[in-house]
Amino acid sequence: MKGSRSLAGGFTLVEILVALAILAVIAAAVLAASQQVSSNLIHLQERSFAMWIAENRLVEMRIATGPLVSSREVREVEFANQRWDTLSVVENTQRPGLRGVTIWVAAEPDGFSSLPLEQRSSARLATYLYWER
């Protein structure tokens, strides 16, 4: 048979390159999504730890034996193998014995940070405590 050719089955080089390009785009999208999830997880973990620290500080204030007076106190705390800064502000209210309490918690900065603790905080807890002792 003159002029007859057998057609070999398979893909052309262009088809293979197009398929690889599609797979590369999909892989890049999956990688970007997983990085975003990882970043969100770290942020949520930091916020959860900070809120636990704020709640612990509030419990310390509730069980204190001395009077709860208007004050502003900065403390360093170690929690989950990390150092944290806390700021506790107690303010008088118009009602005798009722105090407004606000607690800010921030992870200790790696280097010098010029931002006040209130601005770099990961958690803020605000409540009222009644003091009748």
Q: In the prediction, which pLDDT does 65 show?
A: 83
Which domains are delineated in the chain? Answer: 13-130 (3.30.1300.30)
Mean pLDDT, to the nearest integer, of 79-95? 96
Segment among 2-11, 53-62, 106-115 with least mean pLDDT: 2-11
Statement: residue 112 has pLDDT above 80: no
Predicted model pTM? 0.74
DSSP code string of the chain:
-TT--PPPPS--HHHHHHHHHHHHHHHHHHHHHHHHHHHHHHHHHHHHHHHHHHHHHHHHHHH-SS---SEEEEEEEEETTEEEEEEEEEEE-SSTTEEEEEEEEEEPPSS---S-HHHH-SEEEEEEEE---
Q: In the prediction, which pLDDT does 131 show?
A: 78
In tens, the pLDDT along 2-49 reads 555 556 678 899 999 999 999 999 999 999 999 998 889 999 999 999
